[in-house]
Amino acid sequence: MRVFLRRLGFYLLAAVAAVTLDFFIPRMVPGDPVLTALAQLKGSATPGALAALQAQYGEGTNHAGLWHQYLHFWNMLLHGDLGLSLSLGNTHVTTIIGQHIWWTVILVGLATVISFIVGTLIGTLAAWRRGTWIESLLPLTTFLQAMPYFFFATLLVLLFAVKLNLFPAQGGYDTFSSTVGLNWAFISDALSHAVLPALTIVGASLAGWIIGMRNQVVTVADEDYVLLAEAAGLPRQRVVWYAMRNAILPQISSFALALSFVVGGSLLTEIVFSYPGIGFILLSAVKSLDYSLVQGIFLVITLVVLAANFIADIVYVALDPRTRQEA
Amino acid sequence: MEIVDVSKEQVPPQTPLAAAQHKRRPKLRITKSKKMLAGLVILGFYVVMGVIGPWIAPYDPNALGDLTGPGGTQSPGGHHLLGQTTIGNDIFSQLLAGTRPTIEVAFLSGVIATALAIVIGITAGYMGGFVDEVLSLTANIFLVLPALPLLIAIGAFLGPDRAGSPWVVSLIIAATGWAWGARVMRAQAMSMRNRDFVEAARVSGESTSRIILAEIMPNLSAVIASSFLFTTIYAIGTYVGLGFLNVVSAGPHYNWGTMLFDATSSSAVEAGSWWWYVPPGLAIAVLGMSLALINFGIDEYINPRLRIAKPAKGTKVKVRPQLGFTPVVRKRPVVDASPYAAARSQLEEAQ
Amino acid sequence: MSVAEEPAAPTATAPGEPLGEVLLEIRGLSVDYGLGDEPVHAVDDVDLMIRRGEVVGLAGESGSGKSTLAYAVSRLLRDPGVITAGEAYFYDYPKGSYREGGEGASGAPAGTPKRIDLLTSDKNKIRAVRWTEIAVVFQSALHALNPVLRIGRLIDDVLKTHEKQMSRAERRARAEELLDIVGISPDRLSSYPHELSGGMRQRVMIAVAIALRPSLLIMDEPTTALDVVIQREILEELMDLRERLGFSILFITHDLSLLIEIADTIAVMYAGKLVEQAPAKSLFHSPRHPYTYGLTTSFPSLHGEKRVMTGIEGSPPDLRHVPSGCPFHPRCAWAMEECTTKVPPALELHDIGGSRQVLCWLQDGAHEVPAELNATPPAAGTDEARPSMRVHGTPVRAHGSAEEGGAP
């Protein structure tokens, strides 16, 4: 329990850091881009929206001190308010993110779980069957890993969408024939649209899991407890399990780093596929200088990633009895 | 197969079997590791291209022109080796021009992030206590924050031109990329803190900074190199990613990510203009792979067990190592001189 | 390597000798590390035999090949270890056929064993004999116990694999019984290894090792990592257990003084070769090999006569560049011309302490043996050499223990 609370405390602290960072980004940048943007918007934005923005960034009539602005920022945040998006018709940033975040969470979540499981299994196999053909796959996976997500995505589009016409290349669902909701037609349509983006994420992140697990199993196989399992005549699967059960621990603890990569890559993947997730919205927000939307998206992605890391930490504690004692 | 130096096992170390088969750590000879050699050759080629690329580029990468491919298309051929974009830029020139900023940013971010990692990681690991707590906490927070969204947010506020300066983009990439290396180095420095030679230096009154610089750092060279390469790979991916998002612009030069963005947004895939998106993508992948290969070499140097099993030199027998079943390769025939040979052969063999 | 044209050494090996109580037979075993151009000959042409109920001590410095030998014969030696020559047989006697300790035990019929060729049998056959007949106790229990598995789970895994007829409850009961045997409270079954003390962990290892009542325990420096008091406690319990359960032990250690207290036979290794093998007391009191002599003078004797501690000069050789001839000759005070060129033959000597084997030119009958290497061994049967341990039970020997002869 103490371990749990300590990890929770760490992630709360990280969340506070993220919020603070989010607050300071527009204020650290020299030349006050927000002011410029506000000036450009004066003609098009409604007076109410403009005032809200000015309040958010501490500009215009409401020249408050930095500390006051910071508190105001927290106050807005705790009321679930991330400000107004100017590029998308003065809607609330939270509303826009709420519409798109699930596409990303489900896509990235599923792809990451698949990639982790498949990569861990292949990595174990590659380590256990050293000197066989599986090991010769390793350089190939390195090549895949070195490929940027968006280039890999482009190649998949070329092969599976343009040449073979198996899966749709654009969008999250067919906007003409499907109605969004929990009906089979929509779900199957969404799934077929998700295949290529998911394949991109799996393909690009698989190599990391394979190589990581392979190296861990190779290292763990040198431990006496694995040899003991062999010495005790335990069946092969059981011996491999002894090694895997230990080798998987560093895999889980490297999850944080991997997730950061995957999330970044996924944002780019969404853009290639015009997938209606958060990455796609982020791109349009950047293009239209919609600062509050950019900030909001950063914050929400960060909080989701922190939550995922927290879950990974809890899994780790559950899998390693030694961490439970240290508390 | 690694040769074992059994004579080196003087003190019974912690794992008896690992010790009995203690592997000699080989000198890091570049020519010995094919992976590392291949990686270095490829990387060298990129560096050369980075230096001379913009000069030998046949066209200004931003210059528009008529489509001169066969039948007035963008296809490669004629004046344009790798064809043209829809608006007539020379793709080959863009590719060459894009090498320099990529190499620059990769190198700069690598240096800055590694320096940060060294300073923060080794300080935390060596000092321990409260300093360690604070620095580790900071590193861990940076580690869990997703970097790319943060970079995009920063880049968006800076605007593509300011964010595109190699120094600026390197700084912000390094700011998000140092934490991993710091964590690795902290662990290493902690294990080194209590070694005899560090202890001796401390007792003899050397200053902390001198101990860190002269005693600890040289022993971490492999880890530092590995961390540098890791950051470099990360920086390349991030830089082209930001280029792809148009968050950074390479100014007069070109960014491979921007090339891919142009290709994607102009439906180059659907149009079959492979010469537009394949060259930059391959350029990134091969560069990344060359660094990964070098990193593999370093990893295998740090941990020789990771080497891919190969049949030993000078033998025709192929032995596949398998845990729990030591191979038997009899070099001379069995001459059974046992007094029990006769009695033994009478026995039934066990099932 | 035993020389083909062996000189007129006294050997008593008539072909077709009955097996008697032989449990493990190793003939001419050689083990290399690496198969390439420069292999390390870690074990070179070693003969070793373990009889039922016997405690055989395998002594030697680090790098002498003692652990390599033990792991190779159980086929557990890791890559890049390769067995390059020799044979190894395990004799699987019917369970319960061995009775030790009681009167007239040595005369009882052995029961016909089954033969297992440890080097050529397929994996399934070897897996079947593992732990049911040959169990291993590793040096460091901390590393040998899976850190993420409860103790009970490991015992359960072992029982489930080999005793398929046992129910869950029976396995649980057996696991509790095993912990009780080694003096640990049964509720420790749900503990993880890191929650136990070093001594408890090693006890757990022993409990796991005897779970299937094996006939041979290979123990690789099982107590080196423990402090002296616990070490002694565990050894005493081990010897009690051995008496009750009647298993043989191959005990590997660099600590010769320890072996003198617990072993029936001691084999000494140097640079991959087995240089001397003799009944424990004979070996200690009347070493025949200069290296053994050096070892016996390297530590103070706790009981028995006072000795001058001299030790051995120099250090063991690099196994990639083993000296020619007898590998010990650069450090040997009595080295002769032929020692530098010719590998000594394995000589079998018989004296009042029992038969012994020695690898030294000095003992071939053609040379004058230095007085240090010619002490009179204590007669077999006197027990005063191991007074401190509560260990009795004379080992069973199949053949002649009081033959005279051998070296002058």
Instruction: Tell me if chain A has a CB within 8 Å of the CB of C213.
Output: no
Q: What is the pLDDT of residues C168-214, one digit of tens each?
A: 999 999 999 999 999 999 999 999 999 999 889 999 999 999 999 99
Contact A146 B284 (CB under 8 A): yes
Residue B113 Cα to chain centre, angstroms: 14
Check if the beta carbon of residue C277 is closer than 8 Å to that of residue C356.
Answer: yes
User: Which chain A residues are closer than 8 Å to C78 by Cβ?
Assistant: 222, 227
Residues 6+ apart with CB under 8 A from B28: B222, B298, B301
Mutate to test the interface with B, among A57, A154, A241 (most CBs of B within 10 A): A154
Interchain CB distance below 8 Å, A287 and B246: yes
Which H/E stretch holds residue C88?
Answer: strand C81-92
Contact at CB, B245 and A283, closer than 8 angstroms: yes
Measured at the CA of A13, the angle between CA A10 and CA A15, to 5 degrees, comes to 110
pLDDT band at B89 (very low <50, low <70, confident <90, very high): confident
Contact status of B2 with chain C (Cβ, < 8 Å): yes
Look at residue C159 in the predicted model and tell me its pLDDT.
Answer: 94
- Going C275 to C281 to C282 to C284, the CA torsion angle's sign is positive
| Contacting partners of chain C (3+ CB pairs under 8 A) | A, B
- Cβ of A306 within 8 Å of Cβ of B284? The answer is no
Closest-CA residue of chain A to C153:
A242
B171 touches A: beta carbon within 8 Å: no
For residue range B313-345, what is the model confidence (pLDDT) as tens digits?
Answer: 555 566 677 787 888 888 777 777 777 777 777
Q: What is the pLDDT of residue C106?
A: 45
Segment B145-159 shows an average pLDDT of 84
- Interface with chain B: mutation pick from A27, A112, A130, highest number of B CBs within 10 Å: A130
Q: How close C314 comes to chain B (CA, Å)?
A: 13
CA dihedral B164, B165, B170, B175 (to 10 degrees): -80
**C375 within 8 A of C283, measured Cβ to Cβ:** no
Q: What is the pLDDT of residues B237-292, one digit of tens each?
A: 888 888 888 887 766 667 888 888 888 777 777 777 777 788 888 888 888 888 88
Range of lowest pLDDT (A175-184, B49-58, C229-238): A175-184
Tokens of C47: 């003969």
Which of the 8 DSSP states describes residue B284? H
Task: Tell me the count of A-C CB pairs closer than 8 A.
Answer: 76
* pLDDT single digits (tens) C237-293: 999 999 888 899 999 998 888 888 899 999 999 999 999 999 988 888 888 899 988
Task: Please determine, for residue C357, whether its predicted confidence score (pLDDT) is greater than 70.
Answer: yes
pLDDT at B72: 58
A248: closest chain C residue by CA: C148
Q: Between chains, do B306 and A218 touch, taking CB under 8 Å as contact?
A: yes
Mean predicted lDDT score pLDDT of chain C: 80
User: Across the interface, do A222 and B17 touch by the CB < 8 Å criterion?
Assistant: yes
Q: How confident is the model at residue C48 (pLDDT cuts 50, 70, 90)?
A: very high
Decide if C94 touches B, using CB distance below 8 A: no
Which of A223, A227, A228, A315 is the best substitution to test chain C (most C C-beta atoms within 10 A)? A228
Residue of A nearest to B181 (CA): A257
3-state secondary structure of C214: coil
B130 pLDDT more than 90: no
For C297-316, give the DSSP string.
TSS--SSSS--------S-P
Q: What angle do CA C122, C123, C127 make, to 5 degrees?
A: 125
The verdict on a CB contact (< 8 Å) between A135 and B308 is yes
Most C CBs within 10 Å: which of B318, B322, B328, B349, as the mutation test of the C interface?
B328
Q: What are phi and psi of C372, to 5 degrees?
A: -60, -30
Name the pLDDT band for A244 (thresholds 50, 70, 90).
Answer: very high
Cβ–Cβ below 8 Å for B288 and A147: yes
Question: Over chain B, what is the mean pLDDT?
Answer: 76
Identify the weakest region by mean pLDDT among B65-69, B231-235, C112-116. B65-69
Name the neighbours of A, counting chains with at least 3 Cβ pairs within 8 A.
Answer: B, C
Say yes or no: A228 contacts chain C, CB-CB below 8 A: yes
Least confident window among B19-23, C44-48, C312-316 = B19-23
For helices A2-28 and B147-158, the axis angle rounded to 10 degrees is 20
B299 vs chain C: nearest CA distance in angstroms?
A: 20
Chain C segment 55-84 residues within 8 A of B by beta carbon are 62-63, 65, 67-68, 71-72, 75-84
Residue of A27, A145, A268, A284 to mutate when probing chain B, most B C-beta within 10 A: A268
Q: Smallest Cα–Cα separation from A231: which of C61, B147, B326? A: B326
The answer to whether residue C143 neighbours chain A at the CB level (below 8 Å) is yes
Rounded to 5°, the CA angle A164-A169-A170 comes to 160
What residues of chain B lie within 8 A of the CB of A298, using their CB?
A: 149-150, 152-153
User: What's the rounded Cα separation, in Å, for the pair C355 and C348?
Assistant: 7
Within 274-313 of B, beta carbons closer than 8 Å to C belong to 309, 311-313
Contacts of A311 (CB under 8 A, 6+ apart): none
Answer whether A27 touches C (CB < 8 Å).
no
| Separation between Cα atoms, residue C401 and residue C399, nearest integer Å | 6
Q: Give the Cα separation of C316 and C236 in Å (integer).
A: 32
Distance CA C16, CA C236 (A): 38
pLDDT at C131: 92
| Cβ distance of A264 and B274 shorter than 8 Å | no
- Range name among A79-83, B159-163, B244-248, C391-395 with the lowest pLDDT average: C391-395
C120 contacts on B by Cβ (under 8 Å): 328
Question: How confident is the model over B103-132, as a mean pLDDT?
Answer: 89
Does position C87 have pLDDT exceeding 80, yes or no? yes
pLDDT for res A189: 80
Task: Read off the pLDDT band of C73 (50, 70, 90).
Answer: very high
pTM for the complete prediction? 0.81
Contacts of A230 in chain C (CB under 8 A): 76, 130
Put simply, whether A233 touches C (Cβ < 8 Å) is yes
